[in-house]
Chain A
Amino acid sequence: MKLYCLSGHPTLPCNVLKFKSTTIMLDCGLDMTSTLNFLPLPLVQSPRLSNLPGWALKDGNTFLDKELKECSGHVFVDSVPEFCLPETELIDLSTVDVILISNYHCMMALPYITEHTGFTGTVYATEPTVQIGRLLMEELVNFIERVPKAQSASLWKNKEVQRLLPAPLKDAVEVSTWRRCYTTQEVNSALSKIQLVGYSQKIELFGAVQVTPLSSGYALGSSNWIIQSHYEKVSYVSGSSLLTTHPQPMDQASLKNSDVLILTGLTQIPTANPDGMVGEFCSNLALTVRNGGNVLVPCYPSGVIYDLLECLYQYIDSAGLSNIPFYFISPVANSSLEFAQIFAEWLCHNKQTKVYLPEPPFPHAELIQTNKLKHYPSIHGDFSNDFKQPCVVFTGHPSLRFGDVVHFMELWGKSSLNTVIFTEPDFSYLDALAPYQPLAMKCIYCPIDTRLNFIQVSKLLKEVQPLNVVCPEQYTQPPPAQSHRMDLMIDCQPPAMSYRRAEVLALPFKRRYEKIEIMPELADSLVPLEIKPGISLATVSAVLHTKDNKHVLQAPPRPSQPQASKKRKRVSDDIPDCKLLKPLLSGSIPVDQFVQTLEKHGFSDVKVEDTAKGHIVLLQEAETLIQIEEDSTHIICDNDEMLRVRLRDLVLKFLQKF
């Protein structure tokens, strides 16, 4: 069993598991941090961005000044943003049989895989994952396509050139594989390959393995996966949460007894407690708005935003913010808010029960009804008519490189009254802000990541007790910035096996058993013999048939009926072995009774010695030893075959035959 690791990002995994005869891709996350190296795509012409100076080499060479621009000491690529794809060279991706998706954040690279690698298999995901994943992809495509950029930079990617660039461009990995965003058509085609599954649904793959999604508690429809055969079980844990937020709680019990547990998608900010961060978010929001400032929250159109809106729903009255408008701007804002309300069966218990009242599970419905929350597809159109300040704007993209957020950064960045609050943990907020420097607006970093932290992982591992744990290498050592925090790493026994991008791991896993079925007629013919209460044995002679990873014992072909007297001889020649079959023996020899029997049969000088493994019965006169052990009996006599046979028959009397 092997694990091919195609992504180096611990929360955006892409691994391929070869298990039995199947090739299973576990998630296909898209690392979008590469976009931080690019200039933002403004919705409205930005003089500031278009007038940035071109970058020149130390020696004054300006051949890159069209591609690279300098802003506050940082260098950015002036081109359509590109993404870092999972490794495509490590394994032939056309051989992948299925792709299992854990949550909507971990499927963003799907079109690259399904559309460009010769992939012909099936993708499995839950319905909310697909629907919200579609929204995220559509938003991404929309953000990038609506501001077409004529220029496409590629010179800088040349290895020789890249060497000369300043950090972080110099250190960017695999730049040659970076790709532009996919198209709507590719998204549709990729999503058409998805087959919907429900929690705990068992899906057979070629008869060899069974895969099952389990609730992971992180997002709507998010799942962990169990991949198991009859005797082996691999658990794939990706993006799970034990906190009580909106999704169904995590199913931990089903992860028990795994041979291997692949652990990815832990919290990216292990030192920040989500509750504390929500508190920070609310306080800073209130303080800004009180002073007449605006608040900008760069976010994804789904996920934590639901919880934030719920918190604000409870908070705004106490903080006297009832008159402040909240705007949610995204091409998919409306669908996202509505989808959240219709996936009732994927929600936590509290929210599910609301549906029966009947009430909308999320209170953002009420915010919309009372006009406190308004949503728009973009800043153009209705929004510009309704726009009132001070206000709170939720909009994407959290990387600050594309989407409506770019406009608000340009608009509000100059005033210290305004605040940008980062809640999404995927991007370093300092890097995200770099092309907007110098910036007067306040920046608050309250990353809200509800995924498992290391304390929770340690409890989880104690609970489910997997034999082996496999995880990204980042989890096996403390974060580089806090090297003394030994609590910020996975601590388990045996130590977790770690992987990094482009590595192939042989999983420590021995397959010992295989399930074989017996055909009914063959089973009928068996004559079991009870050798112990509750245990019966029977000998089987059969033909082993293997097809589609299923093994079946079938009755051996019957010897054909003698057709003519001439051929009778040949028939008897055909099955000569049958006669040689010796009965199988079972049982144990009670030494005392055996000695008595020997004495009855005239052996008078019997002595018994106990050995470590059993007994030795000594017939002194006959100079014979009978060694009785748990699984063997030896009669050692000096060439006296008659005696040996006599003794053998006495031994056999105590054993069962079948």
Chain B
Amino acid sequence: MDIECSRLLPSVCAVLVDPKQFVADDTCLEKLLDWFKTVTESESSLLVLQENPCLIELLFHVLKLQDVSSNILSFTLRLAGIFAAHENSFQYLQQGEVLLSLFSEAGPLSRPAWEDPSVRSGWIQGVGSMVQHERAVQFLCDCGAIDVIFSLQGDPSLFVASAASQLLVHILGFTMHSQRAMPLSIQDCDWPLCARMIVGHIEESLCSGTVPQITQALNVLTTLFGRCHDSWTEVLWMRMNPLVGSLLEKEPLMAAHSLVDLFLSMARSPVFSHLECDLWTSSRQALNRLSPTQAGPLALGILNLKDCPQTLRTQALSILLQPLACVLRAASQPAGFPGLLDESVNDSVITDILLSSKSSCAGLLCQTLAHLEELQPLSHLLVDWPHVPLLSAVMTVLQFCSGLATPASSVGDRLCGILIGCFRVQRSALDFLGTLSQGASPSTLVRQVVEILLVYLKSPDSSPTVLKKAFQATLKWLLSLSKTSTSSDLCPQTQHFLRDLFPILQKRLCSPCWEVRDSALEFLTHLTKHWGGRAGFRQALLSSEVPELAEDLLRDPESYVRASAVTAMGQLSSRGLCSNPIGTESKNDEKKSLFLELLEILSTDSEGFPRRAVIQVFTEWLREGHTDVSKDKEQFVTKVLQVVSCDLDWEVRVQGLELALVFLVQTLGQHGTECPYAVEMSSLTQSTLLTESLQILCRVKLFEFIFSALCDCDRPVARKSCDILLYLKAQLSHHGSLQGSGEACTASLGTQSTAWLETTLRKWRARDQGQPSGVADRVDCQEPDDVLEVLRSVDLEGLRGTLAKSSDHIEKSPQSLLQDMLATVGILEENEADCY
């Protein structure tokens, strides 16, 4: 601890214990504790205590004070714990019986402040920090603290209760870890005292027959098996297994969710993952006993495991399939179509849940669909993954939801009534349907998928969120269809689909609901991105009104829609699918070119989203060499940078810098410096070319933009600019262009700050404005030499370091923390004086 801090510490401690003073900012105390933790880890904690007696005084003082505030008491408990973590400090504190007064049953438990959850939490954290050596464990056993922890497991504050359980895990883990030398038996007597107490408590709770206690015990075990993978945990499980087993046999089944968590936590531990483990028997039993909703997460967890018995996997998969099998059976399916599960599987429980109420039906189906969706990527590992029946089942669900299914039984009739118009199920089913596009599906089913997707896309009753999902699923299926097609163009089936799709898309682009217009535009963007080059798609798109409608949406009242329209039009234009190519004025002068229209959005739109979208589109156009941009790249970049430099949104400016970077790389790279096979040019030629490149960059005012960005008050902008300049500097150094020409330059090499740069930029601008506007052959004021001068002068590396640090790095020292605490208290005093 440095001297200055030691000097300030007594005053801070005095402030903390003074009931008249109030530490307004809680985070100060947290920062203080963090600092003490670092201090005690880096130097002798005992020495710190001895050299700063104010700390011990603080502890004593708090113990003496009756009306100490709860946050200070909590702080003290945690502080004591941090010091007691080190054995010698622990002994030192023990001498004064401070620890006993703080952590024993006679300690703060009897105080009114104990009612405050923050104090109880502080106590737990203090104890938790302390348990780093056996003496501490012994102390806790002796002073009755373990019993306090047991009782805190049932604390009304969930944070405290959870912390108490985790503390028990920590203590048990520590105790057992320190006994590692001795081989353990299942017998009680071999275990250390503290472990015996905790394990005994867990056993007692498991046998208690009350749900909260059983849940607490199971949570402790779950955390323990999740965190600790030592061999003794297997011995512990041997003791617990019969108790957990008897829980599984009880009617009704208690703490089902906690049981699921326990089994999953164990299954992920390497200790239990061998195939002979009796965990699998218990899991199998649990799958049988749990209700379908409860069993779902367990089944999913099991199927996600790398190694587990195949029979269990089969059972788990059948649990997940049951609800869909039930739906499939409720609808009439063509004879001979293989179902998801054996007809013999009894699904009366599932049927009861599905038919009991709309919410339970939707809940079970959504959960099942979400689980199966999660499993789909692993389907190649599951030998019995029924891709085709699943596809058929999910379509049946969608048919039920839209009233298209023809029920084959009374169950079907009821399901029909329950599921019609159920958006939740529609969304989940469409998500899953989209995922199923990954597998190989027979063409008859694909036709049905296309039909049902069209129904959802077409239906006026599809809610905006359902429609969005329908668009996403459609995109996935369309892309999967094109993958399977062998020819370079779209297969006839897809072309047919597109013919039906575009009229719908047209209508959706005219929807009065902005969310719908937005998702339709997103869909169009993605589809164009993937298929922009395919003749079938181009033909279908161009024969529809979609491009014109998308263009109209550039003027939509809703900013999100405008942003999506910008992206969509950018994409269409890149692929030459725009009715009005950019850069050229349209046939009739009334209509602006797309570039000008986007530029206008960039300069005038009041919302950030459309402007961000425009600059992204421009960057993309430049990057991929959009034909119309390439015609006059310099003019394009000049105009864009001019507009972006005035933008108030930092994200737009960052993206503008990205565009600048692309242009810079392209301009420098144009001259073949990067190509290893290029004919080696003489250094003179290279330097001429480089100067030419710099002149181009100067002409488009790229440097003015980048240099201004370096002084930007938004850090991400300045960082990006700094990175670009460093890149440029590296490129230039490579060719030796950065070496100064005179003494004056070397003197200022890499020493100037941004303040100097700002002054320089102002001078440039003044020069710019001083130029008579009528001069025809205007020479740009920014000459490459000016730029090189700046690059040489500014300390870019240093700047990058500064910018990388967080904004409060200067104020983060412990010394400033202590000063701050004293200062805020001082202000309080002044205010108090004012009151008189």
Q: Which residue of A lies closest to B414 (CB)?
A: A486
Report the separation of the CA atoms of residues A282 and B506 in the bound assembly, to the nearest whole angstrom: 12
Contacts of B420 in A (CB 8 A): 485, 487
Establish whether residues B545 and A484, one from each chain, have CB atoms under 8 Å apart when the complex forms: no
Q: A282-B512, A287-B506 are in contact. Are A486 and B461 (CB under 8 A)?
A: no
Report the separation of the CA atoms of residues A143 and B244 in the bound assembly, to the nearest whole angstrom: 83
Establish whether residues B510 and A486, one from each chain, have CB atoms under 8 Å apart when the complex forms: no
Tell me which residues from 108 to 139 in chain A have a Cβ below 8 Å from any Cβ of chain B.
none
Render A309-332 as a binary contact track against B, CB cut-off 8 A, 1 for contact: 001001101111000000000000
Render B386-424 as a binary contact track against A, CB cut-off 8 A, 1 for contact: 000000000000000001011100001110110011000
Binds B, one of A1-9, A150-158, A268-276: A268-276
Contacts of B413 in A (CB 8 A): 484, 486
The verdict on A168 contacting chain B, using a C-beta distance below 8 Å, is no
Tell me which residues from 523 to 544 in chain B have a Cβ below 8 Å from any Cβ of chain A.
none
Contacts of B557 in A (CB 8 A): 317-318
Contacts of B512 in A (CB 8 A): 278-279, 282-283, 311, 314-315, 318-319
Across the interface, A273 reaches (CB within 8 A) one of B461, B507, B549, B558, namely B461
Interface centre among A280, A319, A446, A485 (most CB of B within 10 A): A319
Establish whether residues A487 and B511, one from each chain, have CB atoms under 8 Å apart when the complex forms: no
Minimum Cβ distance to chain A for residue B355 (Å)? 12
Contacts of A486 in B (CB 8 A): 413-414, 416-417
Render A202-215 as a binary contact track against B, CB cut-off 8 A, 1 for contact: 00000000000000
Report the separation of the CA atoms of residues A486 and B413 in the bound assembly, to the nearest whole angstrom: 6
Render B499-518 as a binary contact track against A, CB cut-off 8 A, 1 for contact: 00000001110111110100
Instruction: Return 30 A-B CB contacts under 8 Å, by A number.
Output: A272-B460, A273-B421, A273-B460, A276-B461, A276-B462, A278-B512, A279-B513, A280-B507, A282-B510, A282-B512, A283-B508, A283-B510, A283-B511, A283-B512, A284-B507, A286-B510, A287-B506, A290-B548, A314-B512, A315-B512, A317-B557, A318-B512, A318-B514, A318-B557, A318-B558, A319-B510, A320-B552, A484-B407, A485-B417, A487-B416
Minimum Cβ distance to chain B for residue A213 (Å)? 32
Render B430-453 as a binary contact track against A, CB cut-off 8 A, 1 for contact: 000000000000000000000000
Q: Which residue of B lies closest to A276 (CB)?
A: B460
The verdict on A277 contacting chain B, using a C-beta distance below 8 Å, is yes
Tell me which residues from 317 to 373 in chain A have a Cβ below 8 Å from any Cβ of chain B.
317-320
Minimum Cβ distance to chain A for residue B261 (Å)? 38
Q: Which residue of B lies closest to A314 (CB)?
A: B512
Establish whether residues A287 and B407, one from each chain, have CB atoms under 8 Å apart when the complex forms: no
Render A273-302 as a binary contact track against B, CB cut-off 8 A, 1 for contact: 100111110111011001100000000000
Q: A287-B506, A290-B545, A486-B417 are in contact. Are A279 and B403 (CB under 8 A)?
A: no
Minimum Cβ distance to chain B for residue A425 (Å)? 14
Contacts of B511 in A (CB 8 A): 279, 282-283
| Chain A contact residues, majority secondary structure | helix
Minimum Cβ distance to chain A for residue B44 (Å)? 72
The verdict on B795 contacting chain A, using a C-beta distance below 8 Å, is no
Establish whether residues B416 and A485, one from each chain, have CB atoms under 8 Å apart when the complex forms: yes
Interface centre among B405, B412, B421 (most CB of A within 10 A): B421
The verdict on B556 contacting chain A, using a C-beta distance below 8 Å, is yes
The verdict on B476 contacting chain A, using a C-beta distance below 8 Å, is no
The verdict on B459 contacting chain A, using a C-beta distance below 8 Å, is yes
The verdict on B729 contacting chain A, using a C-beta distance below 8 Å, is no
Contacts of A282 in B (CB 8 A): 510-512
Report the separation of the CA atoms of residues A595 and B412 in the bound assembly, to the nearest whole angstrom: 68
Report the separation of the CA atoms of residues A135 and B207 in the bound assembly, to the nearest whole angstrom: 79
The verdict on B555 contacting chain A, using a C-beta distance below 8 Å, is yes
Report the separation of the CA atoms of residues A571 and B556 in the bound assembly, to the nearest whole angstrom: 101
Contacts of A283 in B (CB 8 A): 507-508, 510-512
Q: Could you tell me which B residues sit within 8 Å of A by CB distance?
A: 403, 405-407, 412-414, 416-417, 420-421, 459-462, 506-508, 510-514, 516, 545, 548-549, 552, 555-558
The verdict on A482 contacting chain B, using a C-beta distance below 8 Å, is yes
Contacts of B508 in A (CB 8 A): 283
Q: Which residue of B lies closest to A486 (CB)?
A: B413
Q: Which residue of A lies closest to B517 (CB)?
A: A318
Q: Which residue of B lies closest to A485 (CB)?
A: B403
Report the separation of the CA atoms of residues A282 and B416 in the bound assembly, to the nearest whole angstrom: 30
Minimum Cβ distance to chain B for residue A189 (Å)? 44
Tell me which residues from 529 to 563 in chain A have a Cβ below 8 Å from any Cβ of chain B.
none
Report the separation of the CA atoms of residues A282 and B511 in the bound assembly, to the nearest whole angstrom: 7
Report the separation of the CA atoms of residues A283 and B508 in the bound assembly, to the nearest whole angstrom: 7
Report the separation of the CA atoms of residues A284 and B462 in the bound assembly, to the nearest whole angstrom: 16
Render A247-279 as a binary contact track against B, CB cut-off 8 A, 1 for contact: 000000000000000000000000111001111
Report the separation of the CA atoms of residues A279 and B504 in the bound assembly, to the nearest whole angstrom: 13
Q: Which residue of A lies closest to B410 (CB)?
A: A486
Given contacts A277-B460, A320-B552, A487-B420, 12 further A-B contacts (CB under 8 A): A278-B512, A280-B460, A280-B507, A282-B511, A283-B511, A290-B545, A311-B512, A317-B557, A320-B555, A446-B460, A482-B403, A484-B405
Minimum Cβ distance to chain A for residue B410 (Å)? 9
Report the separation of the CA atoms of residues A153 and B417 in the bound assembly, to the nearest whole angstrom: 47
Interface centre among B417, B421, B516, B558 (most CB of A within 10 A): B417
Across the interface, A287 reaches (CB within 8 A) one of B406, B414, B459, B545, namely B545
Tell me which residues from 30 to 63 in chain A have a Cβ below 8 Å from any Cβ of chain B.
none
Minimum Cβ distance to chain A for residue B408 (Å)? 10
Q: Which residue of B lies closest to A278 (CB)?
A: B512
Establish whether residues A484 and B510, one from each chain, have CB atoms under 8 Å apart when the complex forms: no
Contacts of A317 in B (CB 8 A): 557
Report the separation of the CA atoms of residues A93 and B533 in the bound assembly, to the nearest whole angstrom: 76
Contacts of B516 in A (CB 8 A): 279
Minimum Cβ distance to chain B for residue A458 (Å)? 10
Report the separation of the CA atoms of residues A283 and B406 in the bound assembly, to the nearest whole angstrom: 31
Contacts of B407 in A (CB 8 A): 484
Contacts of B403 in A (CB 8 A): 271, 482, 485
Contacts of A273 in B (CB 8 A): 421, 460-461
Establish whether residues A272 and B461, one from each chain, have CB atoms under 8 Å apart when the complex forms: yes
Report the separation of the CA atoms of residues A273 and B459 in the bound assembly, to the nearest whole angstrom: 10
Report the separation of the CA atoms of residues A553 and B18 in the bound assembly, to the nearest whole angstrom: 84
Report the separation of the CA atoms of residues A276 and B406 in the bound assembly, to the nearest whole angstrom: 24
Minimum Cβ distance to chain A for residue B363 (Å)? 19
Q: Which residue of A lies closest to B458 (CB)?
A: A280
Report the separation of the CA atoms of residues A280 and B461 in the bound assembly, to the nearest whole angstrom: 10
Contacts of A278 in B (CB 8 A): 512
Contacts of A280 in B (CB 8 A): 460, 507
Contacts of A318 in B (CB 8 A): 512, 514, 556-558
Report the separation of the CA atoms of residues A592 and B673 in the bound assembly, to the nearest whole angstrom: 120
Report the separation of the CA atoms of residues A156 and B635 in the bound assembly, to the nearest whole angstrom: 81
Q: Which 5 A-B pairs have the closest CB atoms?
A: A276-B460, A487-B417, A283-B510, A286-B510, A282-B512
Report the separation of the CA atoms of residues A291 and B545 in the bound assembly, to the nearest whole angstrom: 9
Report the separation of the CA atoms of residues A284 and B506 in the bound assembly, to the nearest whole angstrom: 9
Report the separation of the CA atoms of residues A271 and B511 in the bound assembly, to the nearest whole angstrom: 20
Contacts of B417 in A (CB 8 A): 485-487
Contacts of A272 in B (CB 8 A): 460-461
Contacts of A291 in B (CB 8 A): 545
Contacts of B459 in A (CB 8 A): 276
Contacts of B545 in A (CB 8 A): 287, 290-291
Minimum Cβ distance to chain B for residue A572 (Å)? 76
Contacts of B506 in A (CB 8 A): 287
Minimum Cβ distance to chain A for residue B655 (Å)? 27
Report the separation of the CA atoms of residues A319 and B511 in the bound assembly, to the nearest whole angstrom: 9
Contacts of A287 in B (CB 8 A): 506-507, 510, 545
Report the separation of the CA atoms of residues A283 and B407 in the bound assembly, to the nearest whole angstrom: 33
Q: Which residue of A lies closest to B407 (CB)?
A: A484
Report the separation of the CA atoms of residues A253 and B823 in the bound assembly, to the nearest whole angstrom: 63
Minimum Cβ distance to chain B for residue A448 (Å)? 11
Report the separation of the CA atoms of residues A123 and B552 in the bound assembly, to the nearest whole angstrom: 54
Minimum Cβ distance to chain B for residue A615 (Å)? 45
Contacts of A279 in B (CB 8 A): 460, 511-513, 516
Contacts of B556 in A (CB 8 A): 318
Minimum Cβ distance to chain A for residue B396 (Å)? 14
